[in-house]
A and B are shown apart, each in its own frame.
Chain A
Amino acid sequence: MKVGIIKFPGSNCDQDVFHALELVKAQPEYIWWNKRDLSDFEAIIIPGGFSYGDYLRAGAIAAITPVIDGIKDCVKEKKPVLGICNGAQILAEVGLVPGVFTQNQSAKFICKWTELKINSTRTPFTSMYKKNEIINMPIAHGEGRYYNENLKKLYENDQIILSFALENPNGSMEAITGVCDEEGLVCAVMPHPERASETILGSDDGLKFFSGMVKY
């Protein structure tokens, strides 16, 4: 499976995602922000980092780059798209997933391992987990507090895919830290599955995000 990893000035988890994709025998390739045509790729991952220095709001500037038009085409063609951390913020800014990831309740950057619950297994990225399974993945963000005025719709459409299982470190509504679009093919998660893709890193709980995508 040929998977595109989107790079913006300020992306910094692109190589980690590349490595995780190699572990699941996918063929990763980097894509620069100004590429418009993504028809060669079967899936897209927007990695974490600080695109455009988080100026204005995290993800706001990346959200209007040409590669986003290419990603919108991928969504129309029903290809899986995953945004991790800054990637999740970008997908929310574009409006491809509902809600917004805004400043943490504590106003601090939080970098730590967290216990998470898989709320839905209907997306390619969560298909290899069990519903309500508890996994460990790290978070590293200053703007990860999930906010959405219409939570009812999320529950009705099974769009919540990941939530904090114990403490809610950033004050997200209902401890939500991963959501998807109505189809379940565009997923945005604040925790980093690529940083939990090998036991040597402390956990390989996140690897199934990528193997699930390859299997899809």
Chain B
Amino acid sequence: MVIAKMKYDAKIIISLKKGMLNPEAAKIQRTLALLDYNVENTGTEDIVKFIIEGSNQELVKKQVDEMCQRLLCNPMIHDYIIKITPKEE
């Protein structure tokens, strides 16, 4: 039996772990204040996205998680959220 492979949209949102200093976000917040926008808890996140083929959503997510551990994130300082959705035709 041949298992049909499906295409999925993968999106990884990478952020610094809670409590870690984010110099870029701090600078953005100070600059917004210069424009009289007073905001708090400013953060920045990176997004990596791609199309990936796999036999089911769970296996694809497992594979993307492995990518995060091995390359896309530094688990020492980063948290990440993986979003996998069937690719829209």
Contact = CB atoms under 8 A, between A and B. Distances in A.
A105 B21 contact: yes
Interface size class of B (residues with CB under 8 A): 10 to 19
A64 interface: yes
Contacts of A105: 21, 23
Contacts of B76: 99-100, 147, 149
Nearest to A147: B77
B27 interface: yes
A104 B23 contact: yes
The listed residue with most A CB atoms (<10 A of its CB), out of B26, B71, B76, is B76
Main secondary structure of the interface of B (DSSP, over half): helix
Contact of A100 (B21, B70, B74): B74
Interface residues of A, number: 18
A64 B70 contact: yes
Contacts of A102: 77
29 contacts: A56-B71, A56-B72, A57-B74, A60-B71, A60-B74, A61-B71, A64-B70, A64-B71, A93-B74, A99-B76, A100-B74, A100-B76, A100-B77, A102-B77, A103-B23, A103-B24, A104-B23, A105-B21, A105-B23, A106-B23, A107-B23, A107-B24, A107-B26, A107-B27, A145-B21, A147-B76, A147-B77, A149-B76, A171-B21
